[in-house]
Amino acid sequence: MTGTGHAVLMLRLAAPLQSWGGPSRYNLRETRPEPTKSGVLGLLAAAEGRDRETSLTDLIGLQLGVRVDQPGTLLRDYHTSSDYRGLPLLSSKTNAKGQQTRTAPPKYTSVTRRFYLQDAVFVAALRGPHTLLHSLEHAVRNPVFPLSLGRRSCPPTGPVSLGLHADNCLEDVLKEVPWQASSHRRRQAQGATVSLEATVEDPAGDRTAVDVPDTYDLKTGTRFARRTVRHLWVTVPTGRTDRTEPAPETTPAGQPDHDPFALLGW
């Protein structure tokens, strides 16, 4: 229901690398194909400067919708680590004093696999109380802690906030925001509109996402609750007025402008 003192905060989530992990831990760090609620709320908490132990009750109540403006591609990052002193690696076990013990039999090299999304662009919509979202929008523009898209190694490119919008259902507001794909992708558009995947939080939805955090406290760990979502497609303008093949761009000298990134779908 709209018109209840609510508003919608729109965010643009774009970066060379993003990683929206779920329950995966330790040596395998996966990423989901679109931002998770845990990841988006973590970004907002960082913007406000909240400690990891601070309650998330007010943030958890926000409704989330995500639009996939540019899906990106999957990157697998292979990692190895070892102790520079040549000592066996620490295990996950602790002794009576709470200190980590060495691996037995000893292991000297650890292998981890981490996955990222390359060159992806998303639009996230958060619906909730106007006062709260107004404060969050100001925080995103003036963050206390550096913002990241899923991991600290993934800072966003360009402004994150797309502003505060009047209250509306998530599906409709995701149709209002202009297409945020890269200029390379937008130049490839053949028609006046483009259909984009979206997922919105909906109590009547037919899918379940397990990505609602109870805390970010490292001492207790995070447990994820379920939420009900609905998958849909939204249509937004591309900025083109015809459906003909776009003419190749030219340099001032009149020669075709070679675009090597076009083959990569950028």
Nearest-angstrom CA–CA distance, 133 and 30: 30
Q: Which distant-in-sequence residues (6+ apart) come within 8 Å of 122 by Cβ?
A: 12, 13, 14, 34, 35, 66, 67, 68, 69
pTM of the full structure: 0.81
Q: Which of 110, 149, 201, 200 is nearest to 31 (CA)?
A: 149
| pLDDT per residue rounded down to tens, the chain (266 residues) | 455 699 999 999 999 999 998 666 667 888 999 999 999 999 999 999 999 999 999 999 999 999 999 999 999 998 888 888 888 888 878 888 888 888 888 888 888 888 999 999 999 999 999 999 999 999 999 999 999 999 999 999 989 999 999 999 999 999 999 999 999 899 888 889 999 999 999 999 999 999 999 999 888 888 889 999 999 999 999 987 755 555 455 555 555 556 655 555 55
How many other C-beta atoms can be found within 10 angstroms of the C-beta atom of residue 197? 15
**173 φ, ψ to 5°?**
-70, -30
**Domain 6-79+110-264 carries which CATH code?**
3.30.70.2660
Q: 125: closest CA among 160, 174, 167, 158?
A: 174
Q: How far apart are CA 88 and CA 108, in angstroms?
A: 5
The DSSP symbol for 46 reads H
pLDDT of residue 33: 94
Domain boundaries, the chain: 6-79+110-264
Task: Decide: 91 and 103 in contact? Cβ < 8 Å.
Answer: yes
Crossing angle of the two packed helices 130-141 and 37-48, in degrees rounded to 10: 70
Strand (E) or helix (H) holding 197: strand 193-201
pLDDT of residue 104: 86
Q: What is the pLDDT of residue 253?
A: 55
3-class state of residue 174 by DSSP: helix
Give the CA angle between residues 68, 27, 102 to the nearest 5°: 155
Identify the pLDDT of residue 98.
Answer: 85
